[in-house]
Amino acid sequence: MTWQAFEASAPLIAEHGRRLLYGGGEGAAMLATVRADLLPRIHPVNVGVMSGGLYAFLLDSAKRRDLERDGRYAMHALQDPGAPSEFLVRGRALPVTDERRRSSVATEWYFAVDAQYRLFEFSIETALLGSRPTAEAWPPAYVTWRADGEEPRSAGPG
């Protein structure tokens, strides 16, 4: 499911998620990728919510090769220590092969991208929002969402 469809289905989670992804100004997150026979890897990435999707431009790297081979991912917004709410999405990353869409996203991107960068769009299959107004507020108030049609629901910690 695209970010636009996710946002239409779960607007409150998407609104807070976008705010958390852009907490430092530019979109940033930790990206977990998987390899079929090895342990997952965690990578910092710049991400962007634009043109109806959740995107990242990636150079040739372990994270890019993991996504090209498998595509499964988990992405967690960076946390503000003063108000450590959390936002997590999971799904599949797909390379964007449409040059017009790539150009459209590139014109809005944080830095200049060239042909070395490959654009990926991250489909959203599940999302989790854990709200904490302060570092002392515990436990977080969790809300989850699934693309398979389950209604957003409250969830316990973890």
- pLDDT for 151 equals 61
The full set of domain ranges for the chain reads 3-155
Residue with tokens 């316990």: 156
Q: What is the pLDDT of residues 96-143, one digit of tens each?
A: 999 999 999 999 999 999 999 999 999 999 999 999 888 898 899 999
Nearest to 153 by CA among 135, 126, 132: 126
85, 79 Cβ separation under 8 angstroms: yes
12: alpha, beta or left, given left = phi > 0 and alpha = psi -120 to 50? alpha
The pLDDT-based confidence of 153 (bands split at 50, 70, 90) is low
Structural class in CATH, domain 3-155: mainly beta
pTM attached to this predicted model: 0.90
For residue 15, pLDDT over 90 is answered with yes
- pLDDT for 154 equals 52
123, 96 Cβ separation under 8 angstroms: no
- pLDDT for 134 equals 87
- pLDDT for 32 equals 97
Q: Give me the chain's average pLDDT, please.
A: 92
